[in-house]
Structure 1
Amino acid sequence: MPVSQLNEQVVMIPAGPGQNVSLETTVFKPDGDGPFPLLVINHGKAPGDPKMQQRDRFIHMASAFVRRGYAVMVPMRTGFAHSTGHYIDHGCDMAANGYTQANDVRDAIRYARGQRWVDPRRIVVAGQSYGGLATMALATQDVPGVRGVMNFAGGLRVHGGPCDWQGALVRAFGDYGRRSKVASLWMYGANDSYFGPELVDRMHQAYTRAGGKAQLVAYGDFKRDAHTMLASREGEKVWLPVAERFLARIGMPVGEKFTVAGEAQYQAPSDYAALEDVEAIPYLAGKGRAEYKAFLQRQLPRAFAVSPTGAWGWAEEGEDPSGSALAACQTRSQQPCQLYSVDDYVVWRTVSATGRTE
């Protein structure tokens, strides 16, 4: 199978009524000129100021689609991260919130259809959390080339105040169902901390009874919180088989075409010590060993790093836990940090006097 790079780049896409807003957009695509089918992924909203939100990449989902020959775009909507303009909040009017966010997604697709590397007839749109709400609002519009949409834990929660946000979400999905233009796939987990099964059932019934086409997949618990499933490396085991069947139904490609270069930096297990042998860890004093013992209760994927200075760092989940653990350790150490364990195995190799690992 041919090997491809992810070819990640960031572009600024014009959007808004007068095209006076620029959307910070991450693009991934296989090697070559295309044209490639396109996946657009829509992000959620973190607590606090949208301007402080980091650029979303959805690297695990993007990699899975690049392997299948897709280009992928992840636009940060108006007022988020380094996108210009001001975020607009319609409060408890959930339908309006979704429609406003969908306007940016539509503009991103319009831009994409003008690129020679995009196949303008084969587009699928996905969204997570607030991005899922925006995606379902987009599905009410006639957007050329869009064959279907995927909603991963879609919705918007209001913290505090008198807003009946659950009822508002149900009404919004009923409105979207009446206006829907394309088929949709919905995926919600049983232990989602934002949108529980009872609310999801109400939203789905409102959508389908109003005429919308939506396959709901309730996949049970995922780790501590199913709301994080799409952002997790291990989430691919949950969403990908279902998504492949949906893609096939709407006439989108499914089979793998490439191996992505450098997609996983595999750390081979060593025979240095057993994972649970806290006393075997080099350099660490009592506090560091206690931290490692607590680390062993963290979720996969995870990584723990140490330094000759006695510093340590760990990370769980995310796009690159090994890199994050090393970076966390390095902030506390003037000497180089090294990974001690990754996931469920020790990767530490002793360093000889010549500086070589053994």
Structure 2
Amino acid sequence: MRSHLVHARQLVIAAIAAALACVLAPSGHAAPVGALPLDARLNEQIITVPAGAALNVQLETTVYRPSGPGPFPLLIINHGKSPGDPKAQGRDRFVYMAAQFVKRGYAVLVPMRTGFARSTGTYTDFGCNMKANGYQQAGDIADVVSWARAQSWIDGEHIVIAGQSYGGLASLALSTQDLPGVRGVMNFAGGLKVHGGSCDWQQALVNAFGEYGRKNRIETLWMYGANDSYFNPQLVGRLYDAFNSNGGRVDLVAYGAFKHDAHTMLGSRDGQPVWLPEVERFLQKVGMPTEQVYAVAEPAPQPATNFAALDDVAAVPFLPERGRQQYRAFLGKQMPRAFAVSPSGAWGWAEEGESVNERALAACQSGSRQPCKLYSVDDYVVWTDTPDPANNSATGRTE
């Protein structure tokens, strides 16, 4: 076991990947965000993987891979659970982590488990029975491992598993199995919080981690931040003690505060300096590749313009007064962030997490019949007041 504190200025570099996106049309009604484009840099695809006792469940699964036939070592990343209906949860992508692994020659799978997003089947919730919750979710991951080992483009002897939040709990439950080819499990802010009710979910989680430690068969890496909104350092200490004292193999990295909430560090653009060095050390320990062997282009940044100062709210074109109020509020949001507008008067914005430009545009577009364009990105304006060929109308200031 190695437990240490990573303080790099309290690691205030990082992330609320609550991936919040908002859109308001001129009427002021919220509108849903559409599907995001696939990432060609990473050969992103969406496939289905069979799972379940009779393999009759189809898991919506994101695939990233280097170009070529392989076989490639494999990373499987497991998602958390958003509040509400699992069917309404969007497809998780984990682009930042996937990009680092593709550079190192890995294929990456991100399966949405039974009943989540567009996966078929019905999600089963065992409430405060955390052991059962973890084992149930781990069943899907084991099915993905079995499917992956049968693919010619995957090196079935070099597989690692990662999970964030509920996916971390599921991954630790998976570590109780002897799975051919699986060399390590990485738990990022793993666990499950029961909202409401009278059960002691924290003690139930400790009990589950104790059992997983007693049955543990695979090396594990854990990463928890000091300001995690779900699992505070005191609870993490209890989880670690339960797992470790029962014989579980665990390498705990307890790092400092990460922006507003360390719980979603893995999904943040700024999280990479926190997790990547620790992950590379763990990969070396379990005999997995760490050298970069493929080039992956960085997304081209939007160029800054001299259209207006970032905080010149009056300069933002097309917006009604309520939209200008929203832009003022947007200026206080975390980076990465983006704000988009349309000649129709609609607007949309996104902060933190992945694909903020695309999410802001999609949010705006879902409330507008006319094309949306980015107005600002991070801390600079990207708007130009040239005619927009898409709708042949001027896109400059409005009085």
Normalization by structure 1: what TM-score? 0.93
| CA distance in 2 between partners of 1:315 and 1:28 (Å) | 24
Counterparts of 1:35-74 in structure 2, within 5 Å, are 35-74=71-110
**3-state DSSP class of the match of 2:307?**
coil
What amino acid maps onto 1:264 in structure 2? P
Q: Which amino acid aligns with 1:219?
A: Y
| Residue 70 (structure 2) aligned to one of 34, 51, 57 | 34
Separation in structure 1 between the aligned mates of residue 369 and residue 50 of structure 2, nearest angstrom: 43
- Asked if the contact 2:339–2:347 (Cα under 8 Å) also holds between the matched residues in 1, the reply is yes
**Which of 264, 269, 275 is equivalent to 1:233?**
269
* Pick aligned residue for 1:242 from 275, 278, 289: 278
Q: Secondary structure at the match of 2:195?
A: coil
Matched, 1:350 2:380: no
1:145 aligned residue: 181
Q: Deviations over 1:323-357 (max 9, x none)?
A: 12122223344432221110111112221599799
Q: CA deviation at 1:209?
A: 0.9
Structure with the bigger RCO (C-alpha within 8 Å, sep 6+) is 2
Quote the residue 1:127 is aligned against. Answer: 163
Map residues 44-123 of structure 1 onto 2, 5 A cutoff.
Answer: 44-123=80-159
Q: 2:59 aligns with which of 11, 23, 26?
A: 23
1:258 positional shift: 1.9
Give the 5 Å matches for 1:149-160. Answer: 149-160=185-196
Q: Is the 8 A contact 2:173 2:212 kept in 1?
A: yes
Asked if 1:274 is matched to 2:312, the reply is no
Equivalent position of 1:329 in the other structure: 364
1:5 touches 1:30 (CA, 8 Å); kept in 2? no
- Cα separation, 2, equivalents of 1:138 and 1:333: 45
State the one-letter code of the partner of 2:160: V
Task: Give RMSD over aligned pairs.
Answer: 2.0
Q: Confirm whether residue 302 of structure 1 aligns to residue 337 of structure 2.
A: yes
Q: Is the 8 A contact 1:43 1:127 kept in 2?
A: yes
Is contact 1:302–1:317 with CA below 8 Å preserved after alignment?
Answer: yes
- Which SS does the other structure have where 2:157 is aligned? strand
Distance 1:14 1:312, change over 3 A: closer
- After alignment, is 212-221 or 326-335 more displaced? 326-335
Pairing 1:315–2:350 present = yes
1:184 aligns with 2:220: yes
**AA in 1 matched with 2:76:** V
List structure 1 runs of 4+ shifted beyond 4 angstroms: 352-358
The one-letter code of the counterpart of 1:271 is N
* 2:320 is the counterpart of 1:289: no
**SS of match in other structure, 2:42:** coil
Q: How many residues align?
A: 354
Shift in CA distance, 155/149, structure 1 to aligned 2, threshold 3 Å = same
Q: Deviations over 1:247-301 (max 9, x none)?
A: 111111112222224x513111223332223233333343332221111100111
Distance 1:227 1:244, change over 3 A: same
Structure 1, unmatched stretches of 5+, are none
Q: Quick check: 51-60 or 345-354, which moved more?
A: 345-354
Task: Work out the percentage of aligned pairs sharing the same amino acid.
Answer: 63
- Of stretches 147-156 and 19-28 in structure 1, the one that deviates more from structure 2 is 19-28
| Structure 2: segments with no counterpart, 5+ residues | 1-39
| Cα gap change, 1:163 to 1:331, in 2 (>3 Å) | same
Question: Contact between 1:139 and 1:180, CA under 8 Å: does it hold in 2?
Answer: yes
TM-score with structure 2 setting the length? 0.84
Report the alpha carbon displacement of residue 318 of structure 1 after superposing the two structures with TM. 3.1
Q: Does 1:172 align with 2:216?
A: no
Deviation digits for residues 186-225 of structure 1 (CA, Å, limit 9, x no counterpart): 1111121111111011001111111112121122222222
CA pair 305-5 structure 1, distance change in 2 beyond 3 A = closer
CA distance in 2, matches of 1:353, 1:56: 33
CA contact (8 A) 2:343 2:395 kept: no
Structure 1 range deviating more: 19-28 or 29-38: 19-28
Amino acid at match of 1:126: A
SS of corresponding position for 1:260: coil
Relative to structure 1, the CA distance from residue 309 to residue 81 in structure 2 (aligned partners, 3 Å threshold; closer, same or farther) is closer
CA distance change for structure 1 residues 83 and 352 in 2, over 3 Å: closer, same or farther? closer
